[in-house]
Structures are given as C-alpha cells and as structure tokens.
Chains A and B, each alone.
Chain A
C-alpha cells in the first residue's frame, strides 16, 4: 500500500446536548445501526460536515464498520463531506419548478452571489470565497404549487422573483 492511513488529529465527540439527543435516539430502534440517519444529521449539525473523525465516531457509536457510515454518507445528498457555507441554498430544478422558470432563479443567484453551482462531489465549486453561501441544485422539494422555490438552510422560500431573492439574500 502506497497510501498511509489517515491520522485523525482531533477526534469528534457529541457535545452534551447532542449526546442527550443521541441517547434518546438510540433507544428508539431495536438495532443501533438504524439510528444512522438521525445520528448523521445530528453530527453534521454539530461539525458542519461529515469529516473522517465524524465517520469514525458515528461508526463506533452505532457499532458498525466505518465503511457502513461512508456508504450511507455518499448515498444521501443531504450529507456533506466538504465544508459548506453558512447558508446552504438549495434550488429546486425539477419539472414543476422548471415550468416556473427556476433557471432564472438559479442564474439570478449565480450572479448575485458571484459563484458557480456546486457539484455533488465538489461543493467548493458552489461556495462563495467568504464561506457564507453554498449554492446547489436539488431535486423536487415538494412545493410545486408555490414554484419556483429555494431552501435556505431549513427555510423554504416560495414563488420567487428576482426581487424576492434579493430581499432574502440581503437579509441574511
């Protein structure tokens, strides 16, 4: 093997509050592994993104191999393996939003934030240099009646127009 194993310099561990939440989570399932998704959400909220240290920690907590965690992290697009901006902007680009000009929304955001759109394995591409925003395209957000929509972190914004977008971004 030419590759050296990665050295984890700062191990990850849940803070007190998340540890409490994790303890509650784990009791819900007959097998620990089942708590994978909620645990990863929790860990990502604390660490910002899923680092090798997080993967290792989660694997230990759930008593599975590290690969099982990596496997899941790469399958689900909501888990990030790279640092993302303070605000993650998800632009829906599936058909109902496309019929309501989501491309205009995306273009406007690109110009406004002066950034490209993130690729799934290259989030840095869609992250502004100041680390404030990450712009990414996502599939249907199940809000087709109020298309076009974006999500900024946990908040959904509906019926977007360039003016509305400006207002949303400027208020962040």
Chain B
C-alpha cells in the first residue's frame, strides 16, 4: 500500500493505482476523456492534469512540481524509505490547486473550439462528459471566433454512426478495436486539427471494411461525447427520461452485467455494467440488441386454447381449468415437465417443486436455445450456449430428481412417448429440428408457456403467456458459476404473468401447498435446499453476484 497525500486527505492506496482512480475511490473527481479503466493510456486528452509535489533541494522544501502531470499515467507506488516525502508520504499530489483548475478550463476551451454545441439534438446530452465537465470545470464563454471544422457525419457500421463534429479524438474507440476486440477496424485519418476517426475507406469514401464486429456497440458506450451514436437508440429518447435497473444479459451463458434502461412503454437499450470477473466493461452486440423481442407487438398477451384446431384467446381461469382437468386424469408416468434455460432459478425451482410434489413425476427436462457460435476476442468471449441460465436450471431441476435432467435426444424420446407435456420455453425465435417437431406433434396434450408465438406454440393445446428477463425478478447462474440477479423493469404485456406464478397457480389448483409471494422468497428456499446455493439469497447476491463455492458440476 502506498501512503499518499491527496489534496488535504491522507489516503492509502494499492500500489499501482493511478491518481484518477485513487481520487475516485475517495470521491474526488479528476476529469478525463481518453482514460478508460479497460484500455491503454495514451494521455492525449490532457484533461486529467494534476499537480505532483516534489522535494526541491535548493529550497529544502516540498514544492509543486514544475510540470503538471496527467493523473491517468501517474502511478502511485510505495517509495523507498529514503525517498519518502515529509518522512512519511510516498506521493503528494493536488487535484484542486489553482494551476490545475486553470489547466482544466484551458483544455476544455480547446476541446470546445470546433465542437458544434448541438446538445439539443444530441443523443449524448444528459450523459455527456463534455457537458458535465464544462459545467464543473469549464469557462463560461468561448473566445473562439474562427471558422469551425465541419467534418462529415459517417456511417461506420451496422449499428454505429459517427458525428465527427462532436468528436474530441480521445481514441478510446480505436484502442477498443485494437485491444479488446482485436479487430482493428478503427483508426485516425488525416493529421493535426483535421484528425478524424474512421474505418478504412478508399479516397472516394467507399469502405474497405466496416465496424461490424460483435463487440462494436461498446465503442458507443465508451465514447465520452456524442460522437459515436448507436443507430438503434438514435433519437429514441432523451437519456434523462430513462429509468435504469441493474440486471444480467440473457443473450448467452456468459452473464454480462448490464443496466436495462426503460420507460413504462418498453425497454430502450441495454448497457454493460462493470464486473471484474465476468464481462469487465463490455457486452456483445447480440446481447445489446437482443432485447427487441421484449417490446414486440406479437408478444403473447392472453392465454390461448386450441378450439377446432385453432389457437384461440381465452381467459386465465378457462386456460387453467382446462389444464387442471387434463392433468388430474393422467397417469404420472405419462407426464413430462420441461423447464427453461431462459427462465430464472426461481422459475425452475417452482416448476421442479410442482413436478415433484404435485405431479409426483421424475420426468423433468430442460429446454432452451440450440447452441450457437462461440466467439473469442483478445479480451472478451461470447459463449456458444445462448441461454443465460443453463447451469442454474440444470442444477435446480435436478435437485430433487437425483440430478437427472433430460436433455437433447433423451428428452425428445421421452416426449414422444408422453401424453401430457408442460413445456416452459421463453426462448424467442427458437427454430425446431425435425425430431423435435415430430416429438411435440405426437404429444396428446401440450402445454406451452412462452413469450412469443413460435414453432413450439403451434403444436400447443394450451399456451400460457409468460415473461421475459425484463419483466421479472430472479437469478441466473452463468457458465462459470456466478449467480446474479435480474430485476423487473417493465410490466408484462396484457395478461402475461411471471412464469413461476403461473406454475404456482397450477399447483394450487391441483391441491399443492405452494404460497410464494415474491422471487426472493423462493431464493431463500433454494439457498436452503439446493447444494452449492447456500449463499445465493437475493440479499447476498446484490449487484455484484456471488460465485458458487463449487461450481455446479
């Protein structure tokens, strides 16, 4: 640990911490644009200038150093005993001296000379470092009278637009493409004040390569100003009208920590949230843009029941009654219950309990997306398993079942011989393979709980409208054994209900004794009953998640 005098504070920081981070840990802002925790540090924006103090022998005193230093590259380390300042400090630095304040204001003035000041139409307004730092550290007027550079707006890739006029050339995006995605599509063109971020193009402007790697969307997040803009979010909402909830991406089994940004009428965007061991600062575009099905107009809003070969909307009481009637007259061995790798641990726990306690069946299966493609980047991985909770669902469904959960061919074999199947899906746009279709078609009575009409629902006799990750509370367990929380943001559409509530209702109607009121209550019971999950209560998981002591195998 280094003992540092930061302004008037005496602080201890880990060796190797830079001044920006040390200050942040103690609630002091050192403004910066080019510096980003997850990227290399070129120190080109010059915004984080701080004032180190050094011992000046002729004066026999500790004085401010002649040059200001960039906080991002000034690393704090324990000094050897004979190099301590004032006999005890490893480093003395001020972030609030007049010289520092003037330097910040001057740099901001330079940053704004060519900026169009088009905040009223800028998507970044409200979450823009130029605005925020100008407000806190800048001058109140511009002295720039000359002609502003007006570089053209550019299309960089499927989801990314560059408003070059707003760019402060911090090169975060370039470093991201070089270091994290390793795809190197971005760079600077021209020189000096004409520097522009761009993809490689011919002299006439036709691209040779576009920014279409699966991590491209992150450059929009890390852009400190409104230069890189997501086409998906363009002009959709002012950011300050969005509410935010910490959640987990449901796009694959990595379990990237995200913030769901939403309004009452739907989800507007997903942004990655830092988690040191899982996703760092990043998420992939499949996950980022994969939320649209939540807002879809096609979402199942009412239960459906097969009447004369056609699925017809009905009300909950009727749908549940139909199911209860069927289930009560069937033999246990003819029932297969299938949980979902898209569902939460809580959904699956209730389903497992329903099967075990009420239906008394041991024939439990697991359904989810088919494996997709895995992608490896220098600092990021996208998993082939496109379900967020395969590990959790598997453990929990198997917890009272001798850990046998039917999957793949074994499952479909069992399904084809079953009379009643209760299948919880929740996997949007899940294509069925021929064997799967055949198996489902052969089922006498198929109950499907899903969020959208799909190939699965077309075989159903009753369809129950369930919910997506954005509409419920619960936990997911990722492929590396992290249990993490998702949170309810918007209300489910129409009369759709949270999945475990539907299962519980069915259980009740069949004489079960379940009576959960909220997901956290189920998690407490999981903690008690499922091996490895002892600490996985919602309270303990918090925003950081917990890692299972011994991962699920």
Contacts and interface: CB of A to CB of B under 8 A. Distances in A.
Interface of A: 1-6, 51-52, 55-56, 64-71, 74-75, 81-82, 120-121
B387 to A, nearest CB: 30
Contact of B207 (A6, A75, A81): A6
B184 A74 contact: no
3 nearest A-B residue pairs (beta carbon): A65-B184, A71-B187, A67-B187
B209 A65 contact: yes
Contact of A68 (B187, B191, B203): B187
B121 interface: no
Contacts of B16: none
14 contacts: A1-B158, A5-B206, A5-B210, A6-B207, A51-B202, A52-B206, A55-B200, A65-B183, A65-B184, A65-B200, A66-B200, A66-B209, A68-B184, A71-B187
Contacts of B209: 5, 65-67
Contacts of B183: 65
A56 B155 contact: no
Nearest to A74: B189
B187 A2 contact: no
B200 A4 contact: no
Q: Which one of A3, A4, A5, A67 has the greatest number of beta carbons of chain B within 10 Å?
A: A67
Nearest to B191: A75
Nearest to B231: A1
Chain B contact residues (Cβ within 8 angstroms of A): what range? 20 to 34
Given A52-B208, A70-B201, 20 more contacts: A3-B206, A3-B210, A5-B206, A5-B207, A5-B209, A6-B201, A6-B206, A6-B207, A65-B183, A66-B208, A66-B209, A67-B184, A67-B200, A71-B189, A74-B189, A74-B191, A75-B188, A75-B190, A81-B202, A82-B203
Contact of A5 (B184, B190, B203, B208): B208
Interface string B204-227: 011111101000000000000000
Interface of B: 155, 157-158, 183-191, 198-203, 205-210, 212
DSSP majority for the B interface?
Answer: loop
A3 B328 CA distance: 61
B120 to A, nearest CB: 26
Contact of A121 (B187, B190, B200, B206): B190
Nearest to A123: B203
A121 B196 CA distance: 13
A71 B199 CA distance: 9
B208 A55 contact: yes
Given A56-B208, A81-B203, A70 B189 contact: yes
A6 B184 contact: no
Contacts of A70: 187, 189, 198, 200-201, 208
Contacts of B158: 1
Nearest to B154: A3
Contacts of A4: 206
Nearest to B186: A67
Contacts of B198: 67, 70
Nearest to B192: A75
A52 B205 CA distance: 11
A5 B201 CA distance: 9
Q: Which one of A3, A64, A82 has the greatest number of beta carbons of chain B within 10 Å?
A: A3
B203 A67 contact: no
Given A2-B155, A56-B208, A70-B201, A65 B185 contact: yes
Contacts of A3: 155, 205-207, 210
Contacts of B203: 81-82
A51 B204 CA distance: 11
B195 to A, nearest CB: 9
Contacts of A1: 155, 157-158, 210, 212
Contacts of B188: 71, 74-75
A52 B202 CA distance: 6
Contacts of A6: 201-202, 206-208
B207 A67 contact: no
A74 B190 contact: yes
Nearest to B158: A1
Contacts of B202: 6, 51-52, 81
A1 B210 CA distance: 9
Contacts of B207: 3, 5-6
B157 to A, nearest CB: 7
Contacts of A2: 155
A5 B212 CA distance: 12
A56 B203 CA distance: 14
Q: Which one of B158, B190, B208 has the greatest number of beta carbons of chain A within 10 Å?
A: B208
Contacts of A82: 203
A69 B184 CA distance: 11
Contacts of A75: 188, 190-191
A64 B157 CA distance: 20
A28 B212 CA distance: 35
Contacts of A64: 184
A12 B231 CA distance: 35
Nearest to B210: A1
